[in-house]
Amino acid sequence: MVDHAVDSPGLNVAFPETAAWLSLVAYVRHTFTDYDELLREGYDRDSARFFVGSEIAAILDSWGVQRRLTSED
């Protein structure tokens, strides 16, 4: 996840806490949900994120993460 934050043009200038959070969310999105499959099926990024949002939130919750997922994440 650190590599993702460092290599991302948007995240490498973000506050460390923000970069870590967004990297964690991206990791869960790409690793544990059907997000990439939805993109391959033709859904746009925002729609695909909407459809996997509750699944991401449930995974983070099961890991004991206290921060809540927002529509901007």
Q: Give how many domains the chain has, as a whole number.
A: 1
The pTM of the full predicted model, rounded to 2 decimals, is 0.81
Distance in angstroms (rounded) separating the CA atoms of residues 31 and 36:
9
DSSP state of 33: S
Asked if the structure places residue 26 within a domain, the reply is: yes
Domain hosting residue 44, numbered range: 2-62
Distance in angstroms (rounded) separating the CA atoms of residues 5 and 10:
8
Asked if the structure places residue 68 within a domain, the reply is: no
Asked if the structure places residue 56 within a domain, the reply is: yes
Asked if the structure places residue 18 within a domain, the reply is: yes
Predicted local distance difference test score (pLDDT) of residue 51: 97
pLDDT digits (tens, 9 = 90+) for 57-68: 999 999 999 999
